A and B are shown apart, each in its own frame.
Chain A
Amino acid sequence: MNKLLSEMRFTEEHEWVRQEGSTPHVTVGITDYAQDSLGDIVFVELPEVGSQVVEKDSIGAIESVKAVSDVYCPASGTVTEVNTELESTPEVVNTSPLEDGWLFKMELADVSSLDTLLTEKEYKDYLHGLE
């Protein structure tokens, strides 16, 4: 788990981004803080494969028993794959938000955009500020 977190970048919208090596291909999901805040997840709405997405745009939604929450795009690029398992088992996002509960994969338009995202420490500091 520590190794996973240290490889990731984060957003203030509580999304994580994990880069594959040094390629422009990344995996995106929501953090443990996010899934805990949402409550029991009953539906995950994901972007279409092949769609061009823009940083900070709303590109999907997660419905829990409490509300529908918009999912925001952490960086601009193209969606290459979505986690189709979530169609039948959306609760995986609650139980394994950093691994099996990944949402989608994308190819970044600009790899350097990852540098603007929060590191693990910066995200933890951000969470402390919210308390």
Chain B
Amino acid sequence: MKFLVKLLSFLTLGPHSNYLCMLGCYTHCRMGVKANIVTRRKYLTTGRAFSNTSVDNIIKGIVYHSASTDVFHNLAFEDWVYNNLDLTHSDVLLLWCNSPCVVVGRHQNPWAECNHRVVEGSKVKVARRRSGGGTVYHDRGNLNCSFFTSRERYNRQKNLKTIISGVKRRWPLVDLEATCRDDIMLNKDFKISGSASRLGRDIAYHHCTLLHSCNKDMLLEVLNVKSNGITHKATASVPSPVKNLGDMDARVYHESLIQTIADQFYTEREPLGKPVIYDVDPSDAQIWPGVHSYREELQSWKWVYGKTPPFSIQRGDDTLSVLIHVSQGNISGVIVRYVSDEILINSIQQLCASLKGSRFCTRTHTTNNAVWRFAKPTKVYSENYEVYSEL
């Protein structure tokens, strides 16, 4: 049964804070589906200022669930919370999942981390998050949990314990353990969760994945990167064997998991409002002013690919090699080394000149091969010339 309730509260500041978070909502309640613990979900729509009467030292908490499965909307919402909310007295837990995508860490090389020949032309998006760490594959079988706190209360092990305690309370036979690397292991051997964080002056967040029913075949295919001649200093991922929580217990899936984790979260904090999951639309710029600009940046080629640390890629053999230098995602230099009786310097230089300044992409691999085919000698004479064509 639907009803609208005007909820006036949200995160505000203590008496000495500088920000004011303007949020309240008209709510829409519905019963949780297939839940042993009935949890009403509320939908955050419009905002109003409200004064929080929190008691000192008691931390309040609120759980959001993103209604979007667009990775850029969701990452933009993380940015919005990070840049706009004062969490001196409150914690926020954001639960979200994405349509199939690959998310690389802030300083990673997407060409080195995922199989672009599989990704290009498919529906799998490529995104770069603001936090560090390694590359992950997301689909609707992978739940993301973002724990936002004040800088002082930042504590990854505590957050992982929230997840593990919640899961174990509801599904006691599932064997989960947090490691010192802040991974969560299932049955000690399989990694079902990895963590990353972003730390600011006053606010911090720790977000982690949780595999419950992910398409493992797709995951392996997308993250399977064969040796491709790339030399780089970007952060490298640490691969691990993976498994789904749902493999251990079929009752573990998105809805049951978010309710379990939210319930556990609220047992550890005083609920800010009702102890329910609030559905949020992360694309609504009326509630989250400026969120579109974050999304624009996160979706831009400049961020996803242009942010890649400088790297080089080489193809070749004894007679010909092509080395391409890439900086900020653009080709900054091409070096061709070949042994040939034919002097093709001008032609090679023209070909290389056409590459310089252009965006690096998988098709450059093809161009790389084209240079190789173009310069490969067709005849062998008694004398060989070594020629370097460099920009």
* Interface residues, chain A, with chain B CB atoms under 8 Å away: 13, 42-43, 45, 56, 58, 61, 63-64, 66-70, 72, 87-88
**Main secondary structure on A side of the interface with B:** strand
Q: Is the CB–CB distance between B200 and A67 below 8 Å?
A: no
Quick check: which of B33-41, B191-199, B265-273 contacts chain A, the rest being far away?
B191-199
Verify A68–B201 contact, CB threshold 8 A: no
Instruction: Write out the residue numbers on chain A whose beta carbons fall within 8 Å of the beta carbon of B131.
Output: 67-68
- Across chains A and B, the number of contacting residue pairs, with CB separation under 8 Å, is 49
Q: List 16 A-B contacts (CB under 8 A).
A: A42-B235, A56-B201, A58-B200, A63-B105, A63-B235, A66-B197, A67-B197, A67-B199, A67-B204, A68-B106, A68-B132, A68-B196, A68-B197, A68-B198, A69-B199, A70-B198
User: At the interface, yes or no: B302 with Cβ under 8 Å from chain A?
Assistant: no
Residue of A nearest to B106 (CB): A68
Please state if B309 and A87 are interface contacts (CB–CB under 8 Å).
Answer: yes
Complex interface: chain A residues within 8 A of B309 (CB): 43, 87
Shortest A51–chain B CB gap in Å is 14
Please, how many angstroms separate the alpha-carbon atoms of A66 and B201 in the complex?
16
Residues of A within 8 A of B204 (CB): 67
Note all chain B residues with C-beta closer than 8 A to A67. Answer: 131-132, 196-199, 204
For chain B, the count of residues having a C-beta within 8 Å of the partner chain is 18
Assess A43 versus B107: contact at CB under 8 Å? Given A67-B131, A87-B233.
yes
B interface, by DSSP: helix, strand, loop or mixed? loop
Cβ contact within 8 Å between B130 and A68:
yes
Residues in B whose Cβ lies below 8 Å from that of A45:
106-107
> How far is A11 from B107 in the complex, measured between Cα atoms in Å?
26
Please name the residue on chain B nearest to A42 by beta carbon.
B235
Is B377 at the interface (CB under 8 A from chain A)?
Answer: no
Contacts of A68 in B (CB 8 A): 106, 130-132, 196-199
Q: Which residues from chain B contact A88 at a C-beta distance below 8 Å? A: 233
- B47 contacts the other chain (CB 8 A): no
Nearest A residue to B203, CB-CB: A70
B129, closest chain A residue (CB): A68
Which residues from chain B contact A58 at a C-beta distance below 8 Å? 200
Most buried by B among A13, A58, A68, A88: A68
Complex: A126 Cα to B105 Cα, angstroms: 33
CB distance from A53 to the nearest CB of B (A): 15
